[in-house]
Structures are given as structure tokens and as C-alpha cells.
Structure 1
């Protein structure tokens, strides 16, 4: 029989194909992941992963084991959730969080609908900051977080809001009179950096390493919260890509927001841990999806 940790390491490494990312996702050390895999391989008597200095890949035996295990693990998790929900229903306490004003508006609407349907479930609302939002989900401090995508290592619900990007610049900046800019300007001006506690793919989606033509993006100072980011922009220490909602929720006399039409849209969605997918979590995600189903409600967010 496999221990739960062994199964989680095997399945996560099969998806990530990277020991460091697997360790981060499971909140283990890289050496713990390596020891677990070696222990499994000794018990099975064959390599499950082929490792080189540059890549990790499943062997044929490893791929077959993962394929056979995955539906059983999902079935066991579903059976436990079903038993819990049969005993409790949608009740108890649900901890929900948001990052930023747009996510906050979406969350409030979802909470209102959820409360009307499930009055026996108490909802606790939390505001998360850029630097600690994902950690709150990974640690189990919150059950559901509405945040910007992409986010790794979590279950991602339907996209609730998709918006174009703008570039925040100081009011007196030489770009401030432009009607639009392209991502190429990120090579010409320092860009305020998001905290390292955010997953790398989240940071790189917003602030790429290079512009579309391949020029390196200039790094500016690092910030931990969104108000801090805007303050650094206003102080002339850098520019920063933002979503369209920021132009409405964060108007400032010392900052100008310029459309950046060649940048990919910013998307917002509920995320939660696979291991924490309960009846209340699923019910809340359903409510959040319903309140953004009509074009009018999405626009009003």
C-alpha cells in the first residue's frame, strides 16, 4: 500500500516534472520529494522517473502507475467529500478572500447569493495582499481566493472577469500624453516588480522577462502590496501594468493609466486546494460563476 504522501508526491511530480516545483506545491523540501521517489522506486523495483541534469520524465512503468492510480485517488477523495457533505450539508464556516478591488466586488456579489441560498453556512471575508494571497490558500488559512491568473498548484474555477491591460505611469511621465503604448516600452522604463512570494508564472504573465521583440524588461523596485506599487509609480520609480478596473477603482491625481492593447488580458477566477474541495467551496464557486454569467453583471464588476 502507498502512503498518502507517497501518492501525492508521485502524482504531483508526474504533472510538474520538476522536483523544486513539486516540493513548493506540496510544501515539502526538494530532498523530501527525492527521498520519497527513491523509496517508491526501491519498493517497486524499477525506476519511475528518468532524471537528467536538465529534465525529468516518467518512465513507461511510472506513467502506467500514475495512470492507474489517478482515478482511484480521485475516487477516494470524492467518497470522503460525499460522506462529509451528507453529514453536514452546506453549513459550518467558509473562509473566502480576494485580491484587489475588482475581485472584492465579485466576491461580495457571490457572498450575497451564497448567503441567500445557504443561511446555515457562515462566511468570513478576508482581504489578501499581493505578497501573501497564494500562501493563504496553500496553508489552508482561506478556503477560496478570488485572484488574478495564472496560479499553479491549486484548483482553478471559471474565469469571472477578463479585462485589458493598462500601463500605470507618473502623471508627469513622458508617456503620460500617449493614447496607447505597446509592451515594448517595458524595455525603456523600469517596471515595479511583484513580490517573490507570488508564483513565478503569475509574475511573468504580468511582467515578462522580455518584450515581444526580445528586448529585456527593465526591473524597478519591488513592492509587497498594490497600494505600495502605485505609490512607487507615483514617486517616479517605475511603471506597472494594471487591469482596466484599476482606472475606475484607483484614480489618482499623480498617476495616468494608458491602454496597452498588445498585452494579454488579465483574468480573475476563484482558486482553492484540491484537498479542500468541500460542499461549501463548490457551492460558493457555483454562486460566483452565476453572478458573472450575464454581460451586465460582469461589466458592473
Structure 2
């Protein structure tokens, strides 16, 4: 069995790939880190790191060990944290925001679970718009926001939902009638633009500057909210890539949603400022993950005439 200190040294060194920085983080000397690693290698019977005068790198065995240990260590840490929080009690006010209908559904499920688990918490729900969603996070008016990724400069929780992209086009658009489209069609039609207040990486993930073949994507008019985006699409001002949920939550007689299978998925997750991370925020993220998990399949049972116990069908 590995001691916790040995595991922490191993994982820290695997991340830093530098004995000095690892020693500093672990509050050890470089010699102590080196001795711990050598002790681990003797116990395992193989080198875990390749050391040269210029670099440190994981061996294949070391990389495999680190890859298998990491989620287990995280699980132990999370279990201990939840036990501490349960013992101390989690209370206070949490300002939770969401961007879009899919995020709203995820948030409501998380809030319901939070209310059942932490009755002393007070949760205020805020609907964000495309133009102000991240300003609310960076400005501190919401503590946590469920939104589409990617977002940099914040802590990103686990992905709660990953969905395919569709292309929203007006009812009379030339593409209507096709079973699916590719990202190449973005070069042939103006694309409604999201506001500049969104991080650039977020905008480019959804609306690339060029198609996969390198053709430029023409810029359409800008919109500040999702209803404005759909209004511009419906009036023929441009097309717009959306998550699959839009076809369910925003059905319109003047818009058609076409599958775009070569586009990357739209991923939704809770995000928050590192400086604002609290036990309450972490508890909300945990509840959101649990609430977003698919329900286990219901197991049916049939009576067994030869046995008084039921057995699965």
C-alpha cells in the first residue's frame, strides 16, 4: 500500500515535472522528494520517471500509475470534504445563474437537490442573457453560473450535459429539406454574431472564423439575447449554430433546425470565480452533477413459480 504522502509527492511531481517546484509545494527538501520517488520505484520494481540534467518525464509505467491513482485520490478528497461539510453544516445564500433553457433545467434540478440536502441554504436564481452572462460571473453578481463552454479565467465544474449542434435557418432557406449539413455551409451564408462581451474562445467555438476547408465565415448582424438571435434568423438575416435542446425549448414555425454532425458538441457546466469558491459553491456543483446524471434503468421482476423470490427479467 502507498502512504498518502508518497501519493501526493508522486502526483505533484507528475504535474510539475520538476523536483524543486514539487519540494516547494510539498514543503519538503529536494532530497526528500528524490528519496520518496526512489522508494516508490523500488517498491514497484520499475522507474516511474526519466531524469536528465534538463528535464523530468514520466515513464509509461509512471504515467499509467498516475492516471489510475488520480481519480481515486480526488474521490477520497471529495468524500472527506463532503463529510466535513455535513458535520459543520452548509448554510447561507447562493446566487445561482443560468444561461439558456437547457442550463435552466439543469439548475432547477440542482436547486431541488440542494434544498433537500441543505435546508438551511437560501438559493437565489438569476437568468443571464448572452450579452451579460460572464460579466455577472466576473463582476461577482452571481456566485455560480451554468453555461456553455469553453470559458477561461474561471473554475469549471464537471460537464453536466453534452449535446450535438444544429444549424438554425429560416423556414424558406435553401438548406431546408436537407437531412443534415456540415460546417462548410457556414461559408455560404451570413452567421448571426454573439456579442463581444462573450469571451472570444466561447464565440469562436460556436462560430469559427473559417470552415474546416479554410473558407472564411461571413459575419451577420449581432444580437444580445438568444430570442434576438432567433428573430434575426427567422427574418433571414443569417443562420446560427445552436445546441440540440433549442429544437425542443424554442420551436418556432418560422425556423428549421438542421443537424450539423461535424460540429463539436455544446457542453454545459457550472463555472465560478476561484476567488469566490466556497463550500456552498462546491456543494451546488456536486448536486448539479448528481441531478444531471441519467436515471438508472428500472429493473422489472417477474414471479418465479418455483421460487418465492422475484428474479430480474
By the TM > 0.5 criterion, same fold?
Answer: yes
Contact 2:161 2:267 in 1 (8 A): yes
Which residue of 2 is the match for residue 204 of structure 1?
204
Task: Give the 4+ runs in structure 1 shifted more than 6 A.
Answer: 63-72, 85-88
Asked if 1:186 corresponds to 2:190, the answer is: no
Instruction: Determine the C-alpha separation between the residues in 2 that align with 1:255 and 1:147.
Output: 24
Instruction: Determine the C-alpha separation between the residues in 1 that align with 2:24 and 2:192.
Output: 44
- Describe the shift of the 1:285–1:172 C-alpha distance in structure 2 as closer, same or farther (beyond 3 A): same
Q: CA RMSD in A?
A: 2.5
Asked if 1:135 corresponds to 2:127, the answer is: no
Contact 1:89 1:279 in 2 (8 A): no
Calculate the TM-score normalised by the size of structure 2.
0.68
SS of 1:147 mapped into structure 2: strand
Which residue of 1 is the match for residue 287 of structure 2?
287
CA deviation profile, 1:166-222 (whole Å, cap 9, x unmatched): 000000011111110000000000000000000000000000000000000110000
Alignment of 1:1-301 (within 5 A): 89-294=89-294
Which structure: larger Rg?
Answer: 2
Instruction: Determine the C-alpha separation between the residues in 2 that align with 1:296 and 1:87.
Output: 29
- Describe the shift of the 1:208–1:175 C-alpha distance in structure 2 as closer, same or farther (beyond 3 A): same
Instruction: Determine the C-alpha separation between the residues in 2 that align with 1:199 and 1:234.
Output: 26
- Describe the shift of the 1:296–1:137 C-alpha distance in structure 2 as closer, same or farther (beyond 3 A): farther
Contact 1:158 1:270 in 2 (8 A): yes
Instruction: Determine the C-alpha separation between the residues in 2 that align with 1:274 and 1:223.
Output: 30
SS of 1:125 mapped into structure 2: strand
Instruction: Determine the C-alpha separation between the residues in 2 that align with 1:173 and 1:69.
Output: 61
Contact 2:166 2:257 in 1 (8 A): yes
- Describe the shift of the 1:158–1:215 C-alpha distance in structure 2 as closer, same or farther (beyond 3 A): same
Instruction: Determine the C-alpha separation between the residues in 1 that align with 2:21 and 2:227.
Output: 44
Instruction: Determine the C-alpha separation between the residues in 2 that align with 1:87 and 1:290.
Output: 20
CA deviation profile, 1:149-175 (whole Å, cap 9, x unmatched): 000100000000000000000000111
CA deviation profile, 1:118-143 (whole Å, cap 9, x unmatched): 11110000000011101101111001
| CA apart distance, 1:293 | 1.9
